[in-house]
Chain A
């Protein structure tokens, strides 16, 4: 158990719908990262938040958005869903000291999204 929690574990929805995925980081971690893993694309970075602010953006679609709340939990919103959005969505967290080297990211169990 990494200490990162994600809900829900599974989500089945229809095309055109909107869903929200939730992530709680490990205690004391300030950074949250969202990744998408599909069969044909591998694990792809979407977006990073640090202490409530967006820090980095990857190949995140405009239909997707995220935020990090004052209690440091994060939500990933996916709208106008398409069949191709079906994937595993992982959240990871790290402490992310402002100075210093790279820190290990610990991954949550993921949310499996199926768009029908």
Chain B
């Protein structure tokens, strides 16, 4: 089975940097995804990590440590529109590619 933990809520200020952590325990692992979801809308893809290290994509970066079962999403130069839920998701090994999602971290960006 798979177990994914991430903080329920975080608050940060516009222009700041915030780090959202995710820890996971899985019986098989084929990568970790981060998605952003605004209330009532579809999750949108942010990043994918399968190897250890940092992946940078504009204001967003994601880090993975497979040995520690740990990932984080780093958001820089926060904007009000970044207020959303951030979902950590793990893909199992094998040909099936369904995602197991964490409960999500609700980020509120304050002016």
Residue picked from B31, B95, B104, most chain A C-beta under 10 Å: B95
Asked if B50 and A102 sit within 8 Å, CB to CB, the answer is yes
Taking A55-B97, A88-B40, A102-B31 as given, write out 4 further A-B residue pairs in contact, using a Cβ cutoff of 8 Å, ordered by the A residue number. A43-B101, A45-B100, A101-B31, A110-B41
- The secondary-structure label for the interface of chain A is strand
Contact among A55, A102, A109, A110 with B30 in the assembled complex (CB-CB below 8 Å): A102
Is A98 close to B, CB under 8 A? Answer: yes
The 8 A-B pairs at the shortest CB distance, nearest first, are namely A56-B96, A107-B42, A43-B101, A102-B31, A45-B98, A42-B103, A102-B91, A107-B43
Q: Which residue of A lies closest to B43 (CB)?
A: A107
- Kindly supply a per-residue 1/0 record for chain A positions 84-98, scoring 1 wherever the CB is within 8 Å of any chain B CB and 0 otherwise: 000010100010101
For A101, the chain B residues whose CB sits under 8 A away are: 30-31, 50
Asked if A42 and B96 sit within 8 Å, CB to CB, the answer is no
Q: Which residue of A lies closest to B45 (CB)?
A: A104
Interface residues on A, range: 20 to 34
**What's the minimum C-beta distance from A111 to chain B, rounded to whole angstroms?**
11
**What's the minimum C-beta distance from A7 to chain B, rounded to whole angstroms?**
14
Interface residues on B, range: 20 to 34
Is A79 close to B, CB under 8 A? Answer: no
- Kindly supply a per-residue 1/0 record for chain A positions 42-68, scoring 1 wherever the CB is within 8 Å of any chain B CB and 0 otherwise: 111100100000011010000000000
- Kindly supply a per-residue 1/0 record for chain B positions 51-81, scoring 1 wherever the CB is within 8 Å of any chain A CB and 0 otherwise: 0000000000000000000000000000000
Q: How far is the CA of A109 from the CA of B44 in the complex (A)?
A: 10
Asked if B44 and A107 sit within 8 Å, CB to CB, the answer is yes
**What's the minimum C-beta distance from A114 to chain B, rounded to whole angstroms?**
13
Is B87 close to A, CB under 8 A? Answer: yes
Asked if A42 and B104 sit within 8 Å, CB to CB, the answer is yes
Asked if A48 and B96 sit within 8 Å, CB to CB, the answer is yes
